[in-house]
Amino acid sequence: MAARAETPVPGWQRGRVASWFVTTDHKRIGILYVSTSLVFFALGGLMALAMRTQLAQANAGVLSPQHYNELVTIHGTTMIFLVLVPILAGFANFLVPLMIGARDVAFPRLNALSYWLYLLGGLVLMLSFFAKGGAAQAGWTSYPPLSEQTPGHGQDLWILSLHILTASSVAGAINFIVTIHNLRAPGMTWTRMPLFVWSIEVFAWMLLAVLPTLSAGLTLLLLDRGISIGGWHIQTHFFNAAKGGAPLLWQHAFWFFGHPEVYIMVLPAFGIISEVLPVFARKPIFGYKAVAFSTVGIGFISMLVWAHHMFTVGFPNALNSFFMITSMAVAVPTGVKVFNWLATLWRGNLHFDTPMLYALGFLSVFVVGGLTGIYLAAFPVDWQVHDSYFVVAHFHYTLFGGVVFAIFAGLFYWWPKMFGRLLDERLGKWQFWILFVSFNVTFFPQHLLGLEGMPRRVYTYSHESWEGYNMTSTIGSYVMGIALLLFLWNVVRTTRRGPRVGNDPWQADTLEWYTTSPPPPHNFDSVPYVTSARPLHDLRQRLREANGTRRIS
């Protein structure tokens, strides 16, 4: 890339705080994304703990029905839109240019805009608790007519927040696609690209494909709720059956976005696992192409499965059958990944640093979430478990046991690259084991509650026979809280005292480890010519050969 003439930075932008506000450096924006999402993660987690407290016992009065419904709505919306998607976007921001040997993303200022829009959208959602009538109360899926009948402005602010976040994500997605297509290092063909970058490529295309549907749905919902501009009042009836509208139209629009959204969160998590496992098994990923193409396959099929969220609305069985088969088809490329990961471990030299523990924990737990998905795809069985706690357990196994475990693998793995210091391994391992156990204690019993007939999104219940599982789940959730505090403690402790590391503490394979930790603003002084999917491994090999100390492996 031709050297750009650097305009001198004005003095006021160079301050320790101000520089973060004006930065267009993808690494700093990545760190902003990650840290902001962690703050929202804490807030969303506190909401979950409040709900678990209310549900620990039958007929409890800790939360009023309205507060419970607000929390259930904002917890879900927060975790998906303000935590999982943006933290993965944060990883992508930090890592993609480094992994492909680029100086920055293609559009650095657009990148900054994405972040600030994200923060704005998040603030709008959080502050909606203070709106007239409280926050939105119709669940993260906000089905009309309920979401159109809630008084107050919480629901309107929810719509506004999602509109802002959608704009942010679209800008980010375009940026990632253009970056990946144009700025790869010499020699980095598509099949030499790190698997995490593959996952971000698919992540970005999926966002572009499905977010417009969400935006359209949100706009219709807003118009249905009615808007006043000056003296004009606009009120439509897209989802209002009384005026000839169709409530199901929203569900189609929402889930055409909503199901791919699950994979928008899961695929980058898969990408992280595909980077971490080979490094800590000291082997190349088993079946690179199968893993890369299964990412594309999952992305594509996931856009054909949305109505499996609507099996109980009374579709003809032919339609249900179509969506059952497409939903089951997603399991095939997912299975390919799981077995390829297992084969990556085979005959490896495994060492169990915290990133590896989280990656292995991910494998063991994600399988459960994947397998319970089959019950939901088989629509007659879904008629029984749909909208019950079985579903709540299922998606927490995929999104917490899956995505959050992968995120922790990624945090412990790339932390030294981001900040130049390792996180404390001892604390990290404690955190892993506590989280692994408490996660299962929290969410496994919820499968059983669902099968016993407990619906999701209820602020209370009167069956005393449900109390045992609910109490167990609540205790588990508190312990999860402790595990997450340990992470916070780890971050605080190692910020100043963590051991400093060199370029490549894990002897990893990909280009981000070629530069210093943390990398300089321009990332690389030079980038080696890429000859395989493991450029750093090749480099070490060549060095050893040059030194005449080649080991036969």
Partner 1 sequence: MASSVRAKLLLAATTLALLLVPAAYGGNGGFVPVTPESPNAHDIRASYFFITFFTLGVFVLVETLLVVFIFRFRRRRRPRFQDGPTLHGATRLELLWTALPVAILFLIATFIFIELPGISHVPSAGATGRAYQIKVTGRQFYWQFEYPNGVISIDSMRAPAEVPVKLTVVSPDTDVIHSWWIPALGGKIDAIPGIVNTTWFEAKPGFYSGQCAELCGLEHARMLASVEVMPKSEFTAWLSQRRAQQSAGTSDLGDEEWGGVCAKCHGLAGEGGIAVRIAGSAILSDPRALAKIVRNGTSTPRGTMPAVGSGWTDDQVSALTTYLKEHPPSGS
Q: Which residues are catalytic?
A: 75, 104, 140, 168-169, 259, 261, 263, 274, 308-309, 334, 337, 456
- Residue closer to partner 1, measured from CB, 115 or 444: 444
Is 312 among the residues that bind partner 1 (CB under 8 A)?
A: yes
| Binding of residue 108 to partner 1 (CB under 8 A) | no
Q: Are 121 and 83 in contact (CB under 8 A)?
A: no
Interaction of residue 380 with partner 1, rule CB under 8 A:
yes
Nearer to partner 1, 69 or 523 (CB): 69
Residues 471-490, one symbol each (x = binds partner 1 by CB under 8 A, - = not), give -x------------------
Stretch that binds partner 1, among 154-162, 357-365, 486-494, 511-519 (CB under 8 A): 357-365
Please give the residues from 271 up to 290 whose contact with partner 1 meets the rule CB under 8 A: 281-284, 286-290
Residue 418's nearest CA partner among 494, 527, 530 is: 494
Residues 6+ apart with CB under 8 A from 39: none
- For residue 107, state whether it binds partner 1 (rule: CB under 8 A): no
CA angle 280, 286, 288 (to 5 degrees): 110
**Of 192-200, 218-226, 309-317, 514-522, which segment contacts partner 1 by CB under 8 A?**
309-317
Q: Which is nearer to partner 1, 154 or 445 (CB)?
A: 445
Site for partner 1 in 490-509 (CB under 8 A): 507
- The answer to whether 187 contacts partner 1 (rule: CB under 8 A) is no
- Applying CB under 8 A, the site for partner 1 has a residue count of 103
**Does the footprint of partner 1 cover residue 458 (CB under 8 A)?**
yes
CB-CB neighbours of 490 under 10 Å = 23
* Residue from 440, 503, 516, 531 in contact with partner 1 (CB under 8 A): 440
Task: Select from 21, 130, 227, 468 the one that contacts partner 1 (CB under 8 A).
Answer: 468
Task: Decide whether 419 or 459 has the Cβ nearer to partner 1.
Answer: 459
Which of the residues 117 through 146 are near partner 1 (CB under 8 A)? Answer: 137-139, 143, 145-146
In DSSP notation, 105-171 reads -S-HHHHHHHHHHHHHHHHHHHHGGGSTT-B--STTTT-TTHHHH--SSHHHHHHHHHHHHHHHHHH
Instruction: Please tell me whether residue 367 binds partner 1 under the rule CB under 8 A.
Output: yes
Nearer to partner 1, 107 or 478 (CB): 478
Neighbour-count burial for 173-186, b at 16+ CB within 10 Å, e otherwise: bbbbbebbeebbbe
Residue whose CB is less far from partner 1, 22 or 338: 338
The CA distance from 149 to 100, in Å, is: 49
Contacts (CB under 8 A) with partner 1, residues 33-92? 64-66, 69, 72
Of 39-47, 259-267, 460-468, 513-521, the window that binds partner 1 (rule: CB under 8 A) is 460-468
Residues paired with 227 in a beta bridge: 234
Q: Is 388 helix (H, G, I), strand (E, B) or coil?
A: strand
Rounded CA Rg of the chain: 24
Q: Does position 193 bind partner 1 by CB under 8 A?
A: no
User: Do the Cβ atoms of 441 and 473 come closer than 8 Å?
Assistant: yes
CA–CA separation, 318 vs 311, rounded Å? 11
Cβ nearer to partner 1, comparing 86 with 333: 333
Contact code string over 316-355 relative to partner 1, x by CB under 8 A = -x---x--xx--xx-xx--xx-xxx-xx-xxxxxxxx---
Phi, psi torsion values for 432, nearest 5 degrees? -60, -50
Nearer to partner 1, 49 or 248 (CB): 248
Nearest-approach distance from CB 75 to partner 1, in angstroms: 13
CA gap 298, 345 in Å, rounded? 23
DSSP 180-249: HHH-PPTT--GGGS-HHHHHHHHHHHHHHHHHHHHHHHHHHHHHHH-EEETTEEE---TT-GGGT--HHH
Site for partner 1 in 147-166 (CB under 8 A): 149, 151
Instruction: Name the DSSP class of 310.
Output: G
CB-based contacts of 477, cutoff 8 Å, min separation 6: 48, 49, 52, 438, 442
Q: Which of residues 209-268 bind partner 1 (CB under 8 A)?
A: 241-242, 245-248
Per-residue DSSP letter, 302: G
400 near partner 1 (CB under 8 A): no
